[in-house]
Structure 1
Amino acid sequence: MKEIDNEPLMQQLISESGYADKFSADVIKHTRLFQVAAGDYIVREGSLPGWLFWLARGRTKLYVTLANGRVSLVDFFSAPCFIGEIEVLDETHPSRAVQAIESCWCLALPVKQCRSLLINDAQFLRHACLGLVRKNFRNIVTSTRNQAFPLVNRLAAFILLTQHDNVYKEKHTQVAEYLGVTYRHLLYVFAQFSAEGVISKQKAGYLILNRGALMRLAQEMEPGITLPGY
């Protein structure tokens, strides 16, 4: 992750993403611009974030390390949304790892300098709470789908959600846990997709050969669903 000094681009992202509307206070003068390459971390687990991030462009994933040392995939964030708002509201909250799926652009406020301003800004608090409600609802929907739909549909949507440049390369163990299936069942469906010419196993992961087929399977769960690349 690196800070970028590009005022025209920052102003463009502020306008495009509705950033300024999330605050009643004047935060633009404190705002910085960061670019995060695919695979880099926006927040590292266990370290108190020094910034409140507004994801203006891109997609990220959230991880948590459990007491037994297992790393679990928890959620996905797509622009626009806050990252690190819980840590602003609660300094004792343990941070979780947030990693970029693709190249991301973030607007950021220094927490130490702006915490008092933020926690006394009713407009920010309202939008932060609404964002947390949406994230919680998304987790409920994911849990419900895990019980209601076959793995073939859920995996199709998951591949489209997490792919980068048409290549999928998530860890099978974490994906099986996230989707609530056995490792063996997950491999069986990957083999099915490969046999049908939907994906192809590569050294770096799986190359998507038929995005349309994956999208049709995903839309059986939610007809109006939109995923990256569509």
Structure 2
Amino acid sequence: MKLLHNEPLLNAKLKDFQFEHMLDLTRPVPFALQQYEPGEIILHEGFALHSLLFLVQGKIKVTSSIETGKSLLLRFGHPFSIIGDIELIRNVPVQSRIEAVNECLLIGLSFDYIKQHEMKNPRFTSTLLDHLSYKLQTCTTASRVNLLASVENRFASYLMSTMSPGSNASFGMELQTDHIGEIASLLGTTHRHLNRVLQAFVQNRMLERNGQMIRVLDWDAIERASNGIRYE
């Protein structure tokens, strides 16, 4: 993580995402502008969190792990997302692992400041409620998908959530096959099973496999295979 001392950039992001409609900016507010590189872990499960984080640029991956070390994909987040609202309200350690998918900018604001100045601000608490209800909705969807959807559905949904040219959350048009084991774990399946699904998609000319890279050939077919599910 890199702490940026860039007042013009900070002010531009505050204006872009209308922070004045959420927080009382008539007093000096101790914002911290943070930059994360692709693949960098923003938060680890179980760690203490001391600041609320607002994602204002980039894309994050949210996963939940169990004691065996395996992780399940919950959702991808993109601006404007709030990180740490559950931890703030419930006073609990970090509940999910947050990873930067691409270069991310986040604005941090300490819990101490929020508890002192903003918890009785109805505009702020309304924003928190909106984001919390969205997380409940997406986590419910993720649970249903991980329990009931086929691996074909889940893999197609993963592709639509991460690679689709029509997705606001898009971060790439190609997939590296050396990441298949990691993706299989996130989707709650085995490397071997996901490879069989991938091969079936290639045989049906939905995907093209070229060395270590996979490229989508038929987005309409991937959309149908996803069954309308998104990890967002």
What TM-score, normalized by structure 1, do the two folds share?
0.77
Q: What is residue 200 of structure 1 aligned with on the other side?
A: 209
Q: What is residue 223 of structure 2 aligned with on the other side?
A: 218
Q: Secondary structure at the match of 2:161?
A: helix
Q: Is the 8 A contact 2:61 2:77 kept in 1?
A: yes
Q: What is residue 197 of structure 2 aligned with on the other side?
A: 189
Q: Distance in 2 between matches of 1:149 and 1:87?
A: 30
Deviates more, 1:164-173 or 1:107-116: 164-173
Q: Distance in 1 between matches of 2:97 and 2:113?
A: 23
| Letter paired with 1:217 | I
Q: Secondary structure at the match of 1:30?
A: coil
Task: Give the superposition deviation at 1:137.
Answer: 0.9
Q: Distance in 2 between matches of 1:109 and 1:177?
A: 33
Q: What is residue 165 of structure 1 aligned with on the other side?
A: 172
Q: Is the 8 A contact 1:60 1:100 kept in 2?
A: yes
Deviates more, 1:144-153 or 1:64-73: 144-153
What value does the CA root-mean-square deviation take over the aligned residues? 3.2
Q: Distance in 2 between matches of 1:105 and 1:28?
A: 21
Q: Distance in 2 between matches of 1:65 and 1:144?
A: 17
Q: Distance in 1 between matches of 2:50 and 2:174?
A: 32
Q: What is residue 46 of structure 2 aligned with on the other side?
A: 46
| Letter paired with 1:187 | N
Unaligned runs of 5+ in 1: none
Deviates more, 1:16-25 or 1:46-55: 16-25
Deviates more, 1:174-183 or 1:110-119: 174-183
**Is residue 55 of structure 2 the alignment partner of residue 55 of structure 1?**
yes
Q: Distance in 2 between matches of 1:148 and 1:201?
A: 31
| Letter paired with 1:168 | L
Q: Is the 8 A contact 2:75 2:142 kept in 1?
A: no
Task: Give the superposition deviation at 1:64.
Answer: 2.9
Seen in structure 2, the aligned counterparts of structure 1 residues 200 and 15 have a Cα distance that, compared at 3 Å, is farther
Q: Distance in 1 between matches of 2:26 and 2:199?
A: 54
| Letter paired with 1:208 | R
Report 1:42-191 matches (<5 A). 42-145=42-145, 150-163=150-163, 164-168=171-175, 172=180, 175-176=183-184, 178-181=186-189, 183-191=191-199
| Letter paired with 1:166 | M
Q: Distance in 2 between matches of 1:185 and 1:49?
A: 37
What TM-score, normalized by structure 2, do the two folds share?
0.77
Unaligned runs of 5+ in 2: 164-170
Deviates more, 1:135-144 or 1:1-10: 135-144
Task: Give the superposition deviation at 1:161.
Answer: 2.3
Q: Distance in 2 between matches of 1:167 and 1:201?
A: 10
| Letter paired with 2:3 | E
Seen in structure 2, the aligned counterparts of structure 1 residues 55 and 199 have a Cα distance that, compared at 3 Å, is farther
Seen in structure 2, the aligned counterparts of structure 1 residues 173 and 119 have a Cα distance that, compared at 3 Å, is farther
Deviates more, 1:117-126 or 1:101-110: 117-126
